[in-house]
Structures are given as C-alpha cells and as structure tokens.
Homo-oligomer: A and B are copies of this chain.
Amino acid sequence: MKKFIAEINVMPLKALLDPQGKAVNLSMHNIGFKTVDNVRIGKHITIEIEALNENIAKEKVDEACKKILSNPIMEYFEFSIKEV
C-alpha cells in the first residue's frame, strides 16, 4: 500500500450567492483593501489515504467527496493527489 495526500477544495457553486464571502469582501473594503472583489469562501480539506496506486486513491477520494465531503446542491469540489 502506498500513502497519498489529497488536497480537496469544496466551494460554493458559482451561480449561488456566498454570504460569508460577501461579508468578508465588505470588511476588506472597510479596512482599506479597495481593489478586492468577488471573495468566495469554501473549505480546504487535506486527507491521508492509503491505496494500492494513484488511480485507486483518486477514485476513493472522488467517492468520498461525493458521499460525505460536499453537498452537490450548493457546492462543487476539486482535488489533487500526491504520493508521500
């Protein structure tokens, strides 16, 4: 078994309003970051996973993202995997 680290981003769908991002955007303007726009905030998840090879690890992570780590009604995910 090899060990991999997956770096997963789970972000609010682009079509949806992101209230947390909007609030941070406003706060940034208020403290002087005027050239900032379109702040969006999601989750960054790192996972260690053991698998026979990289393809199996990718399948597992994809399945985990769909089953438990993201809500497809409101979020999309993307991830990368590297061996450690």
Contact = CB atoms under 8 A, between A and B. Distances in A.
Interface of A: 1, 9-11, 21, 24, 27-28, 31, 33, 35-51, 60, 63-64, 67-69
The complex is assembled from copies of this chain, and their number is: 2
Given A42-B43, A44-B11, A44-B43, A67 B37 contact: no
Please provide the 10 A-B residue pairs with the shortest distance between their CB atoms, ordered closest to farther: A44-B44, A35-B50, A38-B48, A9-B44, A37-B48, A42-B44, A40-B46, A41-B45, A39-B47, A36-B49
Contacts of A21: 45
Contact of A46 (B39, B51, B64): B39
A64 B11 contact: no
